[in-house]
A and B are shown apart, each in its own frame.
Chain A
């Protein structure tokens, strides 16, 4: 199993540009989520999904959009990039079968918006 994969690893955008961060998992996990990590802030939840066709907002959803058309993929779209979105983005997945719902993380995407 590849686990949770994310592309790209690094990205530089100009203010106002849009882009999609890709996330995929091959573990058949029903739950997927996106976090952003900023220094001293821990991880903050952006959006999450409990299954194909179901998404919901987390703590910091503004400026981001998601969709979940398949169990495996959960892309994160930046609609119009702003410098405040400079961050490291992590995708994670989880499943109820473990009983504890621990999350498995991808390697991250480091995004810089100039």
Chain B
């Protein structure tokens, strides 16, 4: 069984400062990992995905995440926060293997950006 822990329920940063959203996962084998973003009153949008091709994954809007197997972590970062980054972010894990569609979601981290 897999699980996801997002270590912070709320993160607040100033505009122009770095963003770090932390995620740890538990999975029986090498999983697929995703970050989704949800802006207020909107659906979820895929930000980036890890598929074992490279440990550093680049996503949209300047976000990136690094897969660290030894630490079972997949933290999301961005060098410089923008006001439009204010949203809720979900770390998601999928078990490896064909036919494994089901995703397990973390509880989310709400990012606030202070002008």
Contacts and interface: CB of A to CB of B under 8 A. Distances in A.
Contacts of B108: 40, 42
Contacts of B106: 42
A102 interface: yes
Contacts of A96: 98-99, 101
A75 interface: no
A42 B101 contact: no
Interface string A76-109: 0000000000000010101010011111111110
Interface residues of B, number: 23
B43 interface: yes
Main secondary structure of the interface of B (DSSP, over half): loop
Contact of A42 (B32, B42, B107): B107
B107 A41 contact: yes
A107 B107 contact: no
Nearest to B101: A31
Contacts of B100: 101
Interface of A: 4, 31, 33, 40-45, 48, 50, 58, 90, 92, 94, 96, 99-108
B43 A101 contact: no
Q: Which of A40, A101, A106 has the most CB of B within 10 A?
A: A101
Contacts, number: 56
Contact of B32 (A45, A101, A104, A106): A101
Contacts of A100: 32, 49, 51, 94
Nearest to A103: B103
Given A101-B100, A102-B32, A102-B46, 8 more contacts: A92-B44, A96-B98, A96-B101, A100-B49, A100-B51, A101-B32, A104-B46, A107-B42
10 contacts: A4-B43, A40-B107, A41-B107, A50-B99, A92-B44, A96-B98, A100-B32, A100-B49, A100-B94, A105-B43
A90 B98 contact: no
Contacts of A103: 101, 103
B101 A99 contact: no
B51 A99 contact: yes
B43 A50 contact: no
